[in-house]
A and B are shown apart, each in its own frame.
Chain A
Amino acid sequence: MGSLFSEVFLGALLFGAVAAAVPLLLAGLGEQISEKSGILNIGIEGMMIAGAYFGFLVAYSSGSLWLGFLGGALAGGIVASVMAILCVRLGLNQIVIGIGLTLGLEGLTALLHHVQFSRTYPRLPAADVLAIPLLSDIPVLGPALFRHHLIVYLAVALVFVMIYVYRRTQLGLNLQAAGDKPAALDVAGVDVVRTRTVAVLSTGALAGIGGAYLANIGAGIFVPFITNGAGFLGIVLAMLARGRPVWVLLGALLFGISLSLTTALQVAGINIPTDVIQMIPFLAVMIMLVAFGRRSSLPAALGIPYERGAR
């Protein structure tokens, strides 16, 4: 039991919590953009796994994690462009297309992995970390929170960028209007389809980066089905957050901490069914949903294709 309270162990748990939270944060922020504009982006899991595969492929081939993130963003964006064409431009059912994209991309990336990596299973070296001066020296919390790859800090900074965009920019207002009253936005002379397309592409890029993080830093390797439902958790976080980026951050951290708590309880040798322990992260999110989500209001036009003049 003593090892449970060692500085190294607690630090590793917290570090793991942050590492688990980052992909969810990026996916959740991305989903939030789509939902604000009225698009329920169920295909985000597919965008993540595309980002994971191509992000890993580029990082492994080039030796650069940053190029890997770029590759992940592009892959996610390309998948998102399919969703944009089918759902935003052609007005097809967003749930059906989203599920189709996810299943298709899971299969495609598994196939590509089989062709390319299934005999060698290449792994990336440990990612370089950026230690924040002074803060990283704080016992336990310092190494856990302030010794990460730069992409982690940028992901957190993105939360505040999104707050600014939603509250202070015309783009934020347009996104909100595209989700709540697209006809009004259209009347105001703003192209609804273009606004929603930008939103979906942004979602794809962020989900792709999240996937690339998962493969390149979270695991250091790509294996088929590696996202393991992270994209769907991003959807849950976005819905819980009611349009507020900070809530996505808190939800992702809560989930990550809960995951680490499950490890801590097991390492401590608590002899209760593992299934019960493993429920904790999901239970935490459900409690959060019940406590705070009841008052949530989703965009009025969420999931409804926009067609000019239609009633």
Chain B
Amino acid sequence: MKNFILKGASALIISGLMLGSATAADVNTIAILTPEEGTDYGWNQQGVDAAKAAGEAAGVEVIVAQGLGYGDVRPTLRELAEDGANLMIAHASGYNTAAPEIAKELNVPVAIVDTPSALTPGLIADYTLSGHAGAYLAGRMAAKMSRSNTLGIVVSGEPPSWNSQSAGFAQGVKAENPDAKVIYAVIGPAAYSDAAGGKRVTESVIAAGADIIFGQGNGSSFGMLQAVETSKAGDGGKVLFIDVIGDKTAIDKGNLLSSVVWNIEPVYSAMIADLKSDTFGTKSYAIGLADDSVKLLKTPQIPDDVWTDVMAMRDDIISGKITVEPVFEATAVRAMMSDVQE
């Protein structure tokens, strides 16, 4: 009996020590995994930059594993866990199957996107973010500036975050000009790096009458940008491009109208804080206009009066005077486009 009690107590102590490996006091290192290089002026770069900023603010080492592609990242996750990562941020919707598996296997917390149902206290957090309010403002701006009253949305996939922005953009267009037409085209089921597809589809949307393109893609967005730069609108004038998540000003050739820029640093900082306070995996995270974690990029292409109007609308959204509901389901987004066209 004495032996049994001693063994039981030892087992409890060892279990406690093992569980402790995933708790607060041990947040010394975080890792972020991205499918493309963190220099894309978009999703990947914003993720990497935000992780570095959050790590620096919290005094935590950050390991960046970038350009991993869209395939199986289980080996990379295992390596990062072996390297001592206390949190692994799987920064791609394509990783949201592998990352929870590895989290359970190795008892290392992971953060994933586009899977709110996967929340698991202490182990799995979801940060499905939405810049729909910013996209709404972009839609209002585009409808004000379009010469053809036809706006195009080109996306390289339909993850929830992008769906909500497509919907927000369409809602903004409709609110500004109910007669405007919104054309919606998806390059492919997961054509995130299909730059040639991005160019081809965008050229078709421009040929259908759009003179402003709201583009959402990773590598494929460079193809969209190329199409905008090398094509003429129906009236022979310039086609403009509205980007999302990042800021492509540094590589702009004069066609970048704006971007719905995200700052993910507050989200990652909150995750680190949650790990430290043992509340990781118990809540969702959000970005928004109020703290500028979602904001519209100002470029020389935007007339001052339009910018002033749009900023007034921004204030109205923050104050609650204008409400923009996020729409995450692809089916609902498409229905919205059809409605706008009718």
Please list the residues of chain A having a beta carbon within 8 angstroms of any beta carbon in chain B: 1, 3-4, 6, 8-9, 11-13, 15-16, 19-20, 23, 106-107, 110-111, 113-114, 118-121, 123, 125-126, 214-215, 218-226, 228, 259-260, 263-264, 266-267, 269, 271, 273-275, 277-278
Contact = CB atoms under 8 A, between A and B. Distances in A.
B222 A214 contact: no
Contacts of B313: none
A226 B41 CA distance: 17
A219 B191 CA distance: 13
Given A9-B208, A219-B195, A226 B219 contact: yes
A243 B201 CA distance: 32
Given A16-B204, A267-B183, 6 more contacts: A123-B229, A225-B219, A263-B200, A266-B184, A271-B331, A274-B330
B209 interface: yes
B334 interface: yes
Max chain B C-beta neighbours (<10 A), residue from A113, A215, A220 = A220
Max chain B C-beta neighbours (<10 A), residue from A1, A8, A107, A225 = A225
B67 A267 contact: no
Interface of B: 36-37, 39-41, 67, 69-70, 150, 158, 183-186, 188-189, 191, 193-201, 203-209, 219-220, 222-223, 225-226, 229-230, 234, 250-251, 253, 330-331, 334-335, 337-338, 341
A12 B207 contact: yes
A3 B341 CA distance: 11
Max chain A C-beta neighbours (<10 A), residue from B207, B226, B234 = B207
A221 B41 CA distance: 15
Contacts of A226: 193-196, 219
29 contacts: A6-B209, A9-B207, A9-B209, A13-B204, A15-B203, A107-B67, A110-B36, A113-B37, A114-B37, A119-B39, A123-B225, A215-B196, A218-B199, A219-B196, A221-B222, A221-B226, A223-B220, A225-B70, A226-B195, A228-B194, A263-B200, A263-B205, A266-B186, A267-B183, A267-B184, A271-B338, A274-B186, A274-B189, A275-B189
Contacts of A19: 196, 200
A271 B335 contact: yes
**Chain A to chain B: the 5 pairs with minimum beta-carbon distance, closest first:** A12-B207, A218-B196, A223-B219, A118-B39, A219-B195
A274 B201 CA distance: 14
Contacts of B204: 9, 12-13, 16, 260, 263-264, 267
A225 B191 CA distance: 10
A111 B193 contact: no
Max chain A C-beta neighbours (<10 A), residue from B36, B199, B200, B337 = B200
